[in-house]
Amino acid sequence: MIQTTLLTSHKGVDLHAATAVRVMQRRLATGKALRALYRCELHTFTNADGRELAAELLGRGRYYNPNKHHYGHFELEPPAGDWRDAASLRGGELAAAWPGQPVGSDFVPVPADLADRLLGGPVPPGCVAADVVSLPLGESGPVLSGVLWRLILIADGQDPRRLAESLAVVRSGEQGLLLNPHQEGWLLAVRGGPESDGTSTANRKELR
């Protein structure tokens, strides 16, 4: 089976991410380590007719507006686990190969570094990227919809995974802003840091 994922990002300023990063930098205990924040809406499913369903979703204004959004269509085989399993969505590891091979986009030709393009471009020198997927718990439909956040963290010796969770997962007034652990599950991967495979999204073998 193949996991199909659609990612969409804003062509202009993403007000959700722009507002969130300012609040996090100013009010969270670890906010000074956050350099930038980017966001994609995601829709993912495992279906034998993945490309047909992806084309159908792209044709609906609810998922993609070509006047406002860039999009990426990705395929991953085998899938990155059962994301309806609540136990796996409590800070589990996001598969290094996810979202998979880019097969479609409004960028023509489809670039190998499509995921990075949708998420603010290459990671700046002296920084580490942490990707956090948040999904509502208890979803049972064929298409799971959620948010992919990319946190650009200053590489200052702190554990990037713990730092990313302290910024993303709401625990108190000074810890977390992006997701509510009582209503959402999350998966996390460090890209290019000490806990990753040492490569960025764009340079992984699967996407060449």
Query: 148-173 pLDDT, tens per residue?
Result: 999 999 999 999 999 999 999 999 99
Q: Is 52 exposed, middle or buried (0-12, 13-18, 19+ CB in 10 A)?
A: exposed
Domain extents in the chain: 3-207
Q: Which residues are 152's β-sheet partners?
A: 36, 129
pLDDT of residue 205: 33
Identify the bridge partners of residue 151 per DSSP, sorted by sequence position: 37, 130
Whether the pLDDT of residue 21 is over 80: the answer is yes
State how far Cα 86 lies from the chain centre: 18
Taking every pair of Cα atoms in the chain, the longest distance, rounded to a whole number of angstroms, is 46
* The model's pTM: 0.90
Q: Which residue has the tokens 């993609």?
A: 64
Task: Calculate Rg over the CA atoms of the chain.
Answer: 16
What pLDDT sits at residue 4? 95
Supply the pLDDT for residue 81.
80
DSSP character string of 132-164: EEEEETT--SSSEEEEEEEEEEE-SSS-HHHHH
CA distances from 72 to 55, 86, 96, 107, 129 (A): 12, 26, 17, 8, 19
- For residue 203, the model assigns a pLDDT of 39
Instruction: List pLDDT tens digits, range 113-140.
Output: 999 999 999 999 999 999 999 999 988 7
